[in-house]
């Protein structure tokens, strides 16, 4: 196949009296090629023979079924055989619906930017990051709150993503911004949302989130399931914190990490020129959003104590958040109330407090009060040089002084028993 310019050159040289052999040598092709194009009198497009295809005339049917089944070409192929009696391979079907698939992907990605009024909305989310703290790699949960209008951020680091961490992060954000928004947009985290139906958009919030929202006076809005960009401002904020605030950095202590996040927010995030608004978040916040937030009015913090019901296991302990806490062994098999508040785990039974432990961080830890095991066979620790040694991962609590057991009136001297059997051994 020669280009239109090549064929035009052949015709021009022929008009000058050149022969086919000379033209072929000049253009680097065969004499037969020159003669064929000269016989045609000029360049012509290659003729293609159109053949009938199995899917001809089914364009609208394919488009409707492809959209109905969310882009599943194999299901469309099966229905085509069942309803139309047309059998094609999956590869043929994939080629036929390729333009439709591109449209479907474009429609899924298309997003209309949603702007909010000053003080109208706060978006919150958590992000996870492995951070080197004190020479160890620790999983850090980063709470990020983003004001919808100004894009001002508030960042806190936590060791977990439990309900109390969400509430503490929100109260910290209210304090940092000096006010409350009209609504809070959040993800469908299990600690906050009990159920969110993707089709009907029915949302069932956790009862304590309802109480928390009433306490602070804001509306709760959950983003659409499996559509994280509903809260895209905060999604980008979480990524910005991960890549900029903590990426590649090491910290001596957890306190050093918290101090760094506060300084980074103040000196970097608040003063940068935002890519969407073109303004520094702090400038935009002070200009329009600070006065639009509703004042805190001296509202006290929401109590984040958790009340749980646990059954005491055969190891004389109850399990809370993956850690074990000892209780008196006589309560094995009984149900007890566990209250987790202010870094303490309190266990109550029948209206009485039976155990108090400092809350453990992480998982697979164990706190044991030896007084809870008094009288259990094998509970006494064997002494070693330097005192008692606790098993790995077990935090021993200093036992209270144990009084000498009272002498029962039923105890008798061994000589009396020896006399009954006719002497001792």
pLDDT, residue 405, reads 47
Q: What percent of the chain has pLDDT over 70?
A: 82
pLDDT at 265 exceeding the cut of 80: yes
**Eight-state DSSP code of residue 380:** S
What is the domain class of 121-289 according to CATH?
alpha beta
pLDDT tens for 368-379 read: 999 998 877 665
Q: What CA–CA distance (Å, rounded) separates 221 from 186? A: 6
User: pTM here?
Assistant: 0.57
pLDDT tens for 289-304 read: 999 999 998 888 887 6
pLDDT tens for 311-348 read: 999 999 999 988 999 999 999 999 999 998 878 999 99
- Over residues 397-408, mean pLDDT: 49
**Which residue in 185, 139, 186 sits closest to 158, CA to CA?**
139
Alpha-carbon torsion 216, 294, 223, 202, what sign? positive
pLDDT at 187 exceeding the cut of 90: no
Mean pLDDT of the chain: 83
pLDDT, residue 397, reads 54
- C-alpha atoms less than 13 angstroms from C-alpha of 3 in its C-beta half-sphere: 5
**Which residue in 333, 411, 328 sits closest to 376, CA to CA?**
328
Q: What percent of the chain has pLDDT over 90?
A: 46
Q: What CA–CA distance (Å, rounded) separates 228 from 186? A: 10
Range picked from 41-55, 65-79, 187-201, 388-402 for highest mean pLDDT: 65-79
pLDDT at 400 exceeding the cut of 60: no
Give the model's confidence band at 70: pLDDT under 50 very low, under 70 low, under 90 confident, else very high. confident
């Amino acid at each position: 196949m020669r280009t239109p310019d090549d064929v035009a050159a052949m015709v021009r040289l022929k008009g000058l009296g050149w022969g086919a052999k000379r033209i072929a040598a000049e253009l680097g092709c065969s004499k037969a090629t020159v003669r064929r194009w000269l016989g045609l009198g000029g360049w012509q497009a290659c003729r293609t023979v159109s053949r009938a295809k199995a899917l001809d005339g089914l364009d609208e049917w394919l488009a409707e079924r492809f959209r109905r089944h969310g882009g599943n070409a194999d299901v469309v192929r099966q229905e085509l055989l069942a309803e139309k009696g047309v059998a094609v391979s999956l590869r043929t079907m994939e080629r036929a619906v390729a333009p439709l698939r591109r449209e479907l992907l474009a429609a899924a990605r298309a997003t209309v930017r949603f702007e909010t009024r000053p003080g109208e909305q706060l978006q919150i989310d958590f992000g996870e990051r492995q951070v080197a703290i004190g020479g160890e790699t620790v999983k850090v949960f980063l709470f990020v709150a983003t004001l919808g209008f100004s894009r001002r951020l508030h960042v806190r680091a936590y060791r977990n993503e439990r309900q109390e961490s969400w509430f503490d992060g929100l109260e910290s954000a209210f304090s940092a911004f000096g006010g409350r928004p009209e609504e809070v947009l959040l993800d469908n985290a299990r600690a906050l949302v009990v159920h969110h139906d993707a089709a009907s958009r029915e949302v069932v919030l956790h009862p304590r989130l309802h109480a928390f929202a009433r306490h602070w006076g804001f509306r709760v809005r959950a983003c659409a399931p499996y559509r994280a960009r509903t809260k895209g401002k905060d999604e980008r904020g979480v990524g910005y914190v991960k890549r900029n605030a903590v990426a590649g950095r090491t910290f001596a202590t957890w306190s050093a990490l918290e101090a760094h996040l506060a300084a980074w927010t103040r000196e970097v995030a608040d003063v940068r020129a935002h890519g969407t608004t073109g303004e520094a978040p702090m400038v935009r916040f002070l200009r329009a959003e600070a006065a639009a937030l509703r004042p805190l009015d001296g509202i006290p913090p929401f109590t984040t104590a958790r009340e749980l019901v646990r059954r005491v296991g055969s190891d004389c302990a109850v399990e809370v958040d993956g850690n074990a806490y000892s209780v008196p062994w006589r309560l094995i098999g009984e149900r007890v109330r566990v209250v987790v508040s202010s870094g303490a785990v309190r266990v109550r039974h029948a209206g009485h407090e039976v155990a108090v432990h400092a809350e453990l961080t992480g998982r697979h830890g164990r706190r044991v009060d030896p007084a809870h095991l008094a009288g259990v066979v094998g509970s006494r620790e064997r002494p070693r040089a330097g005192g008692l040694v606790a098993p790995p991962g077990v935090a021993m609590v200093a036992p209270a002084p144990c009084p000498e057991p009272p002498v029962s009136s039923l105890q008798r001297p061994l000589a009396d028993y020896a006399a009954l059997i006719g002497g001792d051994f």
